[in-house]
Each structure stands twice: as structure tokens, then as C-alpha cells.
Amino acid sequence: MFAYKSFLFTPGNNAKRMEKALSAGADVLIFDLEDAVAISEKANARNTITGCLELPRSCKVYVRINGLETNFWHDDLIMAVQHGADGVMLPKAEDDEQIKFIDKFLTELESKQGKSPIDLIPLVESARGVILAFNIACAAKRVSRLAFGALDYTMDIETSFSGEGTEIFYARSHLVNASRAAGILPPVDTVFPGIKDQDGFERDLLIAKQLGMFGKLLIHPNQIEATNRVFSPSEEEIEWARRILAAFEAAEAAGQGVVQVDGKMVDYPVADRARRILSQVDRN
Ligand SMILES: CC(C)(COP(=O)(O)OP(=O)(O)OC[C@H]1O[C@@H](n2cnc3c(N)ncnc32)[C@H](O)[C@@H]1OP(=O)(O)O)[C@@H](O)C(=O)NCCC(=O)NCCSC(=O)C[C@@](O)(CC(=O)O)C(=O)O
Ligand SMILES: [Mg+2]
């Protein structure tokens, strides 16, 4: 599974915006049936998304279904599988039991409809979800990665979303650690609500990247460019990786497992990081 960088949410009852989003440059669109759609609009949004899923597309399209605590999730899932969504996002993901339940439902639905398995991204956005993140990540093979929802999470832990990252430092790091331990892709970071605060947004991207998260949930097209840029290797990183690998491979050929480059020690983990950067360049 490829590690996508930019995931743009678009409300599922707005056909014009969903259609436009298809060419906005995000790796993934998330047509939303949950918190961006009023209760009275849920059935209309499901029909509107059905139409948009039929449109030709060069990006992936996921559907954020309603949570298992609602009466909507069942029809949401059937629509997503029936109309060829590339993945589904489960909001308010709290534990592995939920994931196993969804996985079983999807497996039965896919075999009935002769469809291949759809990707599942649990959106972790509560204290319980964070503490059980490892169990959630291991609960089904179709879970490619976790996503973090800080707006609901900060409400759940009775604080507020500062935009500086202080109050979500632990949750972000815990999701990174749980994902690595479970052997799945790094988690996708939370939305940043300040759609006019480009500097704050870019700072938030860099903090998330440094903590080991990869990719970001977005709420506006003007957040796509910075996200794709920050989560792609920079020219400096590519040049550094090439230099490190050349020096390390020469040292290794001479029977050494460690060498100094630019005044810093380079051993296997550093060389592996350089290889990972260059392999991401090839994939991009
Ligand atoms: C905020 C606002 C209403 C502002 O609208 P405005 O109209 O004032 O924006 P403008 O700047 O005037 O738009 C300029 C041009 O961009 C187009 N355009 C704007 N937004 C677009 C878009 N999203 N998709 C495609 N196109 C778009 C627009 O159509 C126009 O196109 P055009 O007319 O052609 O020029 C709008 O952005 C919006 O609805 N955002 C998505 C909100 C959403 O999905 N929330 C749920 C997911 S988060 C969540 O649930 C939290 C979480 O669960 C998860 C977590 O945290 O990670 C948690 O718990 O934490
Ligand atoms: Mg939420």
C-alpha cells in the first residue's frame, strides 16, 4: 500500500465541491458522510456521493462513513463498496472489536458483490482510541494505517486545540509508535482548522513530520500544496541521502560498518534512512 500524503475532506452533500476536488491535486479525497454533513442531509449525501464515485478520477477516493453508534453506517458501507470507493474511513474508532466487526461485514459484502477488499483507515479521535491504537492497528489486514482526529480528541480530553501541538504531542507520538509496532504505515495527521493561517499550517506539518507521522487530513484545497511538498523529500534531503549512501557503501566495501560524513557518524540505520528517502523519490 502506498503512503499517500494529502487527504482532502469534502462534504458529501456538495456535488460541485466534490467534482472540483477531483482535480485539486490531493492524493486522496475523503467524501464525508459524518461530521461535515447535517443529520437531515445524510441520505442525500449518500446519493450525491454515489454520483461522484461514477466520475473519472486520477486520485483515490475514500468515504468517511458515519460511526457505528449511529443508524447510518450500514447503508454508508454498502454504498461505498457497491460504487467502488477505494477505501473507507471509520470515525470515532475506539477499539479492535469495532474494526473486527467492520472487517467481517465488509468481507461478507465484498464476497457477495465479487469485489476486492477495500482499504480501511480507522480515525482515532478519543482517549480510549489512542490508548488502544496498537490493538486497532492489528485488528484486520485491511487496515493500512490510522488517522488522528484532534478536534474530537481535544474535546474528549477536555482541553482545546491550540494549533501549537502541545496538547496532542502524546497522542501523535503514541499513534506513531503503535503503527510501527503493528507493522502498518505511519499515521495520517489531524486537520488544521485555520484555513487562512498558512504559516501556522506549515509549522504544524513540520511538527507532525518530525514526530514520525506521514501525511495529513485536509479541509481546504489551499492546504494541498504545502502538504505534498513537506511530505516529499526536499532537494537537500535527496542530495544528503546520495552523499551518505556513496560514503557508506564505499566504507562497507572496505569492511567498515561505520564512517564519518560531514562530521557525523553514519552507520546502518543512517544509511537505511538515506535509502528510504531515495526509494520515496522513486515512488513519487
Ligand atoms: C471550511 C469551509 C466550510 C470553508 O468554505 P468556504 O466556502 O468559506 O471556503 P473558500 O475559501 O471560500 O473556498 C474557496 C474555493 O475552495 C473550494 N473549497 C473549499 N473547501 C473545499 C473542500 N473541502 N473541498 C473541495 N473544495 C473546497 C470552494 O468550493 C471554493 O471553490 P470556488 O468557488 O470554485 O472558488 C470548507 O473549506 C469546507 O467545507 N471544508 C471541509 C470541512 C469538512 O469536511 N469537515 C469535516 C472533516 S474535519 C473533521 O471532521 C475533524 C475530525 O474528525 C478529523 C480531524 O481533525 O482530522 C476531528 O474530529 O478532529
Ligand atoms: Mg471528528
130-171 residue pLDDT tens: 999 999 999 999 999 999 999 999 999 999 999 999 999 999
How far is CA 3 from its chain centroid?
8
Domain that holds residue 252: 235-283
Nearest CA to ligand 1 atom 9: 220
Calculate how far, in angstroms, residue 263's C-alpha sits from the geometric centre of ligand 2.
Answer: 46
Calculate how far, in angstroms, residue 226's C-alpha sits from the geometric centre of ligand 2.
Answer: 23
Do 28 and 129 have their domain in common? yes
User: Percent of the chain scored above 70 by pLDDT?
Assistant: 99
Ligand at shortest distance from the CA of 36: 1
User: Percent of the chain scored above 90 by pLDDT?
Assistant: 97
What residues have CB less than 8 Å from 16, skipping those under 6 apart? none
> ipTM > 0.95?
yes
What residues have CB less than 8 Å from 235, skipping those under 6 apart? none
Q: Which atom of ligand 1 is nearest to the CA of 161?
A: 60
Answer whether residue 142 is part of any domain: yes
Mean pLDDT value of segment 199-211: 98
Q: Which atom of ligand 1 is nearest to the CA of 148?
A: 57
| Assigned C-alpha cell, 4 | 499517500
Q: Which atom of ligand 1 is nearest to the CA of 222?
A: 16
Calculate how far, in angstroms, residue 245's C-alpha sits from the geometric centre of ligand 2.
Answer: 42
238-260 residue pLDDT tens: 999 999 999 999 999 999 999 99
Total domains present in the chain: 2
Do 44 and 86 have their domain in common? yes
Do 170 and 188 have their domain in common? yes
Tell me if residue 74 falls in helix, strand or coil. Answer: helix
Do 219 and 155 have their domain in common? yes
pLDDT of residue 2: 73
Residue 274 — φ and ψ, nearest 5°? -65, -45
Nearest CA to ligand 1 atom 6: 220
Q: List, chain by chain if needed, residues with CB within 6 Å of any ligand 1 atom.
A: 8-11, 17, 20-21, 32, 35-36, 125, 149-152, 190-191, 195, 217, 219-221
- What CA–CA distance (Å, rounded) separates 28 from 16? 17
Mean pLDDT value of segment 14-43: 97
Answer whether residue 52 is part of any domain: yes
Do 206 and 116 have their domain in common? yes
Ligand at shortest distance from the CA of 38: 1
Answer whether residue 241 is part of any domain: yes
Q: Which of 230, 250, 270 is the last residue of a domain?
A: 230
Answer whether residue 208 is part of any domain: yes
Mean pLDDT value of segment 105-115: 96
Answer whether residue 222 is part of any domain: yes
Calculate how far, in angstroms, residue 104's C-alpha sits from the geometric centre of ligand 2.
Answer: 24
Do 133 and 257 have their domain in common? no
Mean pLDDT value of segment 102-128: 97
Nearest CA to ligand 1 atom 56: 149
Q: Residues within the annotated binding site? A: 64, 125, 152
Do 31 and 76 have their domain in common? yes
Do 160 and 252 have their domain in common? no
Do 165 and 219 have their domain in common? yes
Answer whether residue 1 is part of any domain: no
Calculate how far, in angstroms, residue 119's C-alpha sits from the geometric centre of ligand 2.
Answer: 19
Do 208 and 239 have their domain in common? no
Is residue 125 a contact partner of residue 153, using CB atoms and an 8 Å limit?
yes
pLDDT of residue 1: 62
Do 175 and 272 have their domain in common? no
pLDDT of residue 187: 98
Give the CATH number for residue 148: 3.20.20.60
Q: How many CB atoms lie within 10 A of CB 236?
A: 8
Q: Which atom of ligand 1 is nearest to the CA of 11?
A: 44
pLDDT at 7 over 90: yes
